[in-house]
Structure 1
Amino acid sequence: MRDKTLLFVRDYLFSEGSRKYSFHWQDVHGNCILRWDNAPHHQGVSTFPYHRHFGKEEHIQESQPMRLETVLEYIQGQRE
């Protein structure tokens, strides 16, 4: 990205129809800015398994299922 942040994308669609994803956006120093994923490890989130990590790993927030296009639009909106 032009501002030297990085976006790491993992998005898998399995043959039985399930999907696993992680969109990890980090700053130039490697610190997490925001990560969206659907790993089933935060059962207390009302949108389980969909959630996002805001900044530090322990800052968990609700999230809707995400797509790469939506993530890119969000990042672009933050950088304008």
Structure 2
Amino acid sequence: MVGILDCLNSFSFIKRYEVLKFRYFEEGFYIKIKVDLKNNTQLYITEYSDNIAREYSYHWQTIDGKLIIRWDNAPHHKNIRTYPHHKHVGENVYESFELDCYSILKKIEKYLKS
């Protein structure tokens, strides 16, 4: 969990973030964070992690709620080579190699610079 907050603090395009939910337990944690970016888009981060499993969703959207990209590892889209890791771009689903906070924020940074 600390890694996620450290990650958020290391990118200059992040305006602010708010931890909406946090549960810590002996084997892991659950966290949900709302991130406001300087280009007036938002990123919602949801992560659950314990000794056995890790589930995540990074949902990047416009201020009015339109999806830009969502990265997640929900166990569907079995035809994707990186299953269960995938990303939604509009109505399309693609393989995803961005599996953590840092790599996803680096990808967003690249989009913002282009």
Task: Please give the range of the TM-score, normalised by the shorter of the 2 chains.
Answer: 0.7 to 0.9
Percent identity, aligned pairs only, is 36
Match of 2:81 among 46, 63, 66: 46
Match of 2:99 in 1: 66
1:15 is displaced (CA, Å) by: 2.9
Q: What letter is aligned with 1:19?
A: R
Deviations 1:15-44 (A, max 9, x none): 32x110000000122111001000001111
CA RMSD, 1 decimal: 1.2
1:64 is displaced (CA, Å) by: 2.2
1:65 is displaced (CA, Å) by: 5.2
Q: Report the CA distance shift for 1:78/1:42 in structure 2 as closer, same or farther (over 3 A).
A: same
Equivalences for residues 5-24 of structure 1 within 5 A: 5-16=41-52, 18-24=53-59
Structure of larger gyration radius:
2
Q: Report 1 or 2 for greater relative contact order, CA contacts < 8 Å, sequence distance ≥ 6.
A: 1
Moved over 6 A (4+): none
Per residue, is there more strand in 1 or in 2? 2
Length, aligned pairs only: 77
Gaps of 5+ in 2: 1-36
Gaps of 5+ in 1: none
Length-normalised TM-score, structure 1: 0.87
